[in-house]
Amino acid sequence: MKKINIMINGLPGNVAKKLAQASIMDDRFQVLPFSLTGQEIQEETFTIGSTLFELIKPDTRDNKISRIKSQFTSFIAIDFTHPTAVNSNALFYTQYRIPFIMGTTGGDREELARVVKQSSTLAVIAPNMAKQIVGFQAMMEYAANTFPDLFKGYELEVVESHQKGKADTSGTAKAMVGYFNKLGTDFNVTDIQMIRDPEKQEKTLGIPKDHLAGHGWHTYTLRTTDGSTLFEFKHNINGRDIYVSGTFDAVFFLEEKLAKPDTQKKLYTMIDVLNRE
């Protein structure tokens, strides 16, 4: 079976590292020994097992991409970098016609979509790569479109907890607020409660100590103003394995699309990936 070339960007970040570890052990992939990283990263290389990755910073990537593409004529980039790099990385990928999967949250999402649609580059963009959570979002979207104002008059509270190093508000939480507002609530994403304090996460929320450095807990609470009725939705993820399997599915999906020369659509989501199965 032909291996799929992938470039995992975001090392030495935790999600990128987890993906790289899994990819190196997976015979379906050939992992490029390069990774885009932030300008602030001091290391020049990063080692996982016996694989040495050259870390490429924004000020050198334009000079180095030709060397990378001469070694690997085709590959799919997987982006788990930093919210501040989302839009500049997308411009880089589209400029050099590198198909990519954007798992990084944050940035200007409308601009991100516009850049891809106006390019000749295919991409899967999703604020969450976990298939089960994406499926849950799809159910909420269906409910929002089918039963608008179902929760009209209810007050919404959104609490999300991630590891201390996550800089931005959860993209999944933001998307869910959109569905709940269609269902009748009146909630601003700026009111989402972001919890990044490990002590509070462990003692108040009950997050296992082993997963304080890598988790995603979300709770959406709907209650009537008089407190007589309450609905609660939650999805709590410990670790990062669930994101790895979803990202791999997105890689195979994108590889299939790239094999079809008549593909007109450029921008895909994890819903498209789920619908493939």
CB 9 within 8 A of CB 35: yes
- pLDDT, residue 10, reads 97
- Give me the catalytic one of 82, 131, 166, 266: 166
Separation of alpha carbons 144 and 166, rounded Å = 29
- The confidence score (pLDDT) of residue 3 equals 95
Q: Within 10 A of 85 (CB to CB), how many other CB atoms are there?
A: 21
**Catalytic annotation present for 166:** yes
Q: How far apart, in whole angstroms, are the C-alpha atoms of residue 14 and residue 80?
A: 9
Domain ranges, ordered by start, for the chain: 4-125+241-271, 131-238
Q: Which CA distances in Å does 45 have to 39, 41, 82, 167?
A: 13, 10, 18, 24
- How far is residue 36's CA from residue 254's CA, in Å, rounded to a whole number? 20
* Phi, psi (rounded to 5 degrees) for 218: -130, 135
Average model confidence (pLDDT) across the chain: 94
Residue 33 pLDDT grade (very low, low, confident, very high; cuts 50, 70, 90):
very high
Catalytic residue (one of 18, 131, 162, 215):
162
- Residue 235 annotated in active site: no
The b/e string for 67-76 (b: 16+ C-beta within 10 A; e otherwise) is: ebeeeeeebb
What's the CA gap between 19 and 25, in Å, rounded? 10
φ, ψ dihedrals at 161, nearest 5°? -125, 130
Encode pLDDT of 216-261 as tens digits. 999 999 999 999 999 999 999 999 889 999 999 999 999 999 998 7
Q: Which fold has domain 131-238?
A: Dihydrodipicolinate Reductase; domain 2 (3.30.360)
Helix (H) or strand (E) holding 105: none
Q: Cα(160)–Cα(142) distance, rounded to whole angstroms?
A: 23
CA 10, CA 114: separation in Å to the nearest integer? 23
Domain 4-125+241-271 class, CATH top level: alpha beta
For residue 135, give the amino acid letter.
G
Q: What's the predicted TM-score (pTM) here?
A: 0.84
Task: Decide if 214 contacts 237 (C-beta within 8 A).
Answer: no
